[in-house]
Structure 1
Amino acid sequence: MKIIAFAGSNSSTSINKKLVTYVSSYFQGHTIEILDLNDYEMPLFSVDKLAKDGIPQLTLDFAEKIDSSDFLLISLAENNGAYTTAFKNVFDWLSMIPERPVFGNKPMFLLSTSPGARGGASVMEIAKNRMPHSGGKVIETFSLPSFYKSFVEGKGITNSEYATELATKIEKIKDDLLM
């Protein structure tokens, strides 16, 4: 199985990139490619830019990565209760590719984390409701609250309750996808 993983953030110190990288380690034995949104920096979407210049090549490149995968692992950062501008911009450009579901009808595991106690709950709610309408088959979700209290680099999730929840969900995903 080929897995494309990325964080919905362009921060060089993204905690969501740390989370998605950690979670991807549970899928040993599979091909995993971790993308960085900074490698897909596109002009700010507008219909005027679309009409003038067409769809940026980086959009097509990102779509190709999605299409080459069997499974998407996405950790969504939250900014003011919604997607980050970086993620939303990629999403908007992808939605302009004619006759193509944005997320390629791929199964996906949605993650989120934040420094706060809600763990990105607002962006997760938006994504759970939006992704099925955009070619994403959400098979599971996981939010990690209080990142700096619940996660240690090199160790992973240190809160046993959250670690168990994540492990259980990953086993379910493996059972569902590899049957």
Structure 2
Amino acid sequence: MNFLGLSGSLRKASLNTALLRETTGLLPEGVAMTVRTLEDLPLLNPDQLESGFPDAVNVLAAAVKQADALVLASPEFNYSVTAVMKNAMDWLSIHPDAPLKAKPVALMSASPSAFGGGRAQYHLREILIYPGARLLGVPEIMVTNAFNAFNEQGALTNQTTRDLIIQQMQALKVMIQA
């Protein structure tokens, strides 16, 4: 079983990309996860679709379609998802292969705030209604005060959060098998 982790952050030292990388070591038996960022996607401009979808979008759509599930990690900007995550979901929602249709999706976020990116996650849930993604409800992963949650090597140090990630990934596996 293969999961695809998408980071909604473009930062070199992204806490959300680090969160996804840490998740790769907390997966249930029989599950592997690839982590990728979204910096190669152009901004969605419907006028440019006359010549077809950009190669980077087609590559992403194919990767999403082939994955058994998605794990989306996005920081919170201005009480919502990042522009790069919204742009990626917009591209995927109109792609002719409908890669998000019935795709199991788990959400997580890491934020220096006391809210842990929760508002971004709730907006992402709304965004994923239109393309018909299947969202995992609980457990929710919202890493608060995230600068203190990772050590200098980028390892997640909070055992409670690690345990919740294990539970979330197991629930996502069960969701796929149901």
TM-score w.r.t. structure 1 length? 0.84
What CA deviation, in whole Å up to 9, does each residue of 1:55-111 have, x standing for no partner? 21211110000011111111112222222122222222222323x435242111111
Contact 1:24 1:73 in 2 (8 A): no
Partner of 1:11: 11
- Deviation track 1:141-170 (CA, whole Å, cap 9, x = no partner) reads 311111112222558433344333333333
Q: 1:135 aligns with which of 111, 127, 132?
A: 132
1:77 paired residue number? 75
Q: Aligned AA for 1:171? A: Q
Matched pairs, number: 175
Separation (CA, whole Å) in 2 of partners of 1:148 and 1:15: 8
Distance 1:32 1:170, change over 3 A: closer
Q: Identify, as 1 or 2, the structure richer in strand.
A: 1
Greater relative contact order (Cα 8 A, min sep 6): structure 1 or 2?
2
Take 1:81 and 1:49, find their aligned partners in 2: how far apart are those partners? 30
Scaled by the length of structure 2, the TM-score of the pair is 0.84
**Cα pair 1:112 1:124 within 8 Å, conserved:** yes
Q: Give the partner amino acid of 2:134.
A: K
Matching of residue 57 in structure 1 with residue 31 in structure 2: no
Is there any run of 5+ residues in structure 1 with no aligned partner, and where?
Answer: none
1:26 aligns with 2:26: yes
| Contact 2:69/2:172, CA 8 A, preserved across alignment | no
User: In the TM superposition, what whole-angstrom CA distance separates every residue of 1:105-152 from its partner, at most 9, and x where no partner exists?
Assistant: 211111111111111111111112332332321114311111112222
Aligned to 2:171: 172
Aligned residues of 1:91 and 1:102 also touching (Cα < 8 A): no
- Structure 2 Cα separation of the partners of residues 25 and 63 of structure 1: 25
**Residue equivalent to 2:117:** 120
**For 1:54 and 1:174, how far apart are their aligned partners in 2?**
34
**Counterpart for residue 89 of structure 2:** 91
**What amino acid is the match of 1:45?**
L
Counterpart-to-counterpart distance in 2, 1:26 and 1:85:
28
Change (3 A) 1:138 1:9: same
Which has more helix, going by share of residues?
1
8 Å contact kept, 2:26–2:162: no
User: For residues 174 and 93 of structure 2, what CA distance do their matches in structure 1 show?
Assistant: 31
1:144-155 paired onto structure 2 within 5 Å: 144-152=143-151
Moved more, 127-136 or 166-175: 166-175
CA distance in 2, matches of 1:32, 1:107: 14
> What is the CA-CA distance between 1:29 and the residue it aligns to?
3.7
Seq. identity, %: 23
- Structure 1 residue 105 and structure 2 residue 102: aligned? yes
Does the residue aligned with 1:112 lie in a helix, a strand or coil?
strand
